[in-house]
């Protein structure tokens, strides 16, 4: 359950949590044409607080809106400032941040006409998305019967609300079958991504991840690639199949919510030793150092604020 905090930023001002409401005829509620981001703020090792890759997340948010032909009536800098303002208003030294831009009420029908584009920013406390134990021991994954979007059916580079119906169906199926997460294939049968995470596999000392074809250009994915290369690992962006995943030495998911989560089993097949592997654990450790401000080489990824 989302833990209620004091305020939500709504179209330029902070309003009490329970007053952040929209009309039932809000266009996006009916047709799914909205864009959102998932962002994290971390309490740093030195006692301060910072949002991880704030500017890049907000820039992607605006690109998502551009793809959907939605004109957000604020600048990127204004939304960045609003995110920090919302965290401070809610006295949150760490937590999850959800900006959402959507088409408001007015015209009803597929074409939204001149309906207003509205934006909210909500923040709340949130721990490990897939569970604290998952970060250590890894998770069990099922290949979904639902295929990931084709690039000319949905706009896969936009973080669009309606796209996630696909994820909801896959996640429900996986949980109902006793798994922790769903793995989704693209329309040609290659591994794509999970319901809200990008995927990496390890074979020997080579780390492989799916290229930016059907998958979202994840900022955590980008961060892991950057950190891994800086650590001297070889990264290959290349399509791979389920059977290559089955026989991998290691595998892990990454995302703002999932952070770096090992995969210990896929479709009843144990991956590697059945726990977080050496390279996965190394990258996980280094990633947490980065987001908690313990690696000065990546200080530019942190937007500090005070509570």
Indicate the burial class of 203 (C-beta count within 10 angstroms; 0-12, 13-18, 19 or more).
Answer: middle
Q: Which residues pair with 102 in a beta bridge?
A: 34, 118
Ramachandran quadrant class, 223 (left: phi over 0; alpha: psi -120 to 50; beta: rest): alpha
Whole-angstrom Cα distance, residue 106 to residue 117? 11
H helix and E strand count, the chain: 8, 17
Q: Which structure tokens are listed for 228?
A: 């891994």
Q: Which structure tokens are listed for 52?
A: 């991880």
Exactly one of 13, 43, 66, 159 is catalytic; which is it? 159
| Residue 66 is a catalytic residue | no
Q: Is 197 helix (H, G, I), strand (E, B) or coil?
A: coil
Which residue, 125, 73, 68, 123, is CA-closest to 97?
123
Per-residue exposure over 168-177, b if at least 16 CB sit within 10 Å of its own CB, e if not: eebbebbeee
Q: Are 6 and 19 in contact (CB under 8 A)?
A: no
Which residues are known catalytic residues?
159
């Amino acid at each position: 359950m989302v833990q209620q905090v004091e305020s939500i930023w709504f179209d330029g001002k902070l309003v009490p949590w329970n007053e952040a409401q929209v009309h039932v005829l809000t266009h996006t509620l009916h047709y799914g044409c909205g864009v959102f981001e998932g962002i994290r703020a971390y309490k740093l090792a030195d006692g301060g607080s910072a949002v991880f890759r704030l500017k890049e997340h907000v820039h992607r948010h605006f690109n998502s809106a551009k793809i959907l032909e939605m004109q957000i009536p604020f600048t990127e800098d204004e939304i960045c400032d609003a995110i920090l303002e919302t965290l401070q208003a809610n006295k949150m030294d760490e937590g999850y941040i959800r900006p959402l831009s959507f088409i408001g009420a007015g015209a009803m029908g597929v074409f939204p006409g001149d309906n207003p584009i509205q934006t909210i920013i909500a923040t709340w406390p949130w721990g490990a998305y897939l569970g604290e134990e998952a970060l250590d021991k890894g998770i069990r994954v099922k290949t979904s019967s639902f295929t990931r979007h084709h690039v000319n059916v949905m706009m896969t580079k936009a973080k669009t609300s309606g796209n996630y119906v696909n994820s909801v169906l896959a996640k429900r199926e996986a949980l109902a079958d006793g798994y922790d997460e769903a793995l989704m294939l693209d329309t040609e049968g290659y591994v794509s991504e999970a319901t809200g995470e990008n995927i990496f596999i390890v074979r020997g000392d080579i780390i492989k991840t799916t290229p930016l074809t059907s998958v979202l250009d994840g900022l955590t994915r980008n961060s892991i690639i950057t950190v891994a290369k800086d650590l001297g690992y070889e990264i290959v962006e290349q399509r791979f199949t389920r059977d290559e995943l089955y026989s991998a030495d290691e595998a892990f998911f990454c995302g703002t919510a999932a952070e770096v989560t090992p995969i210990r089993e896929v479709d009843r097949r144990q991956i590697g030793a059945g726990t977080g592997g050496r390279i996965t654990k190394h990258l996980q450790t280094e990633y947490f150092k980065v987001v908690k401000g313990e690696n000065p080489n990546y200080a530019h990824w942190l937007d500090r604020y005070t509570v």
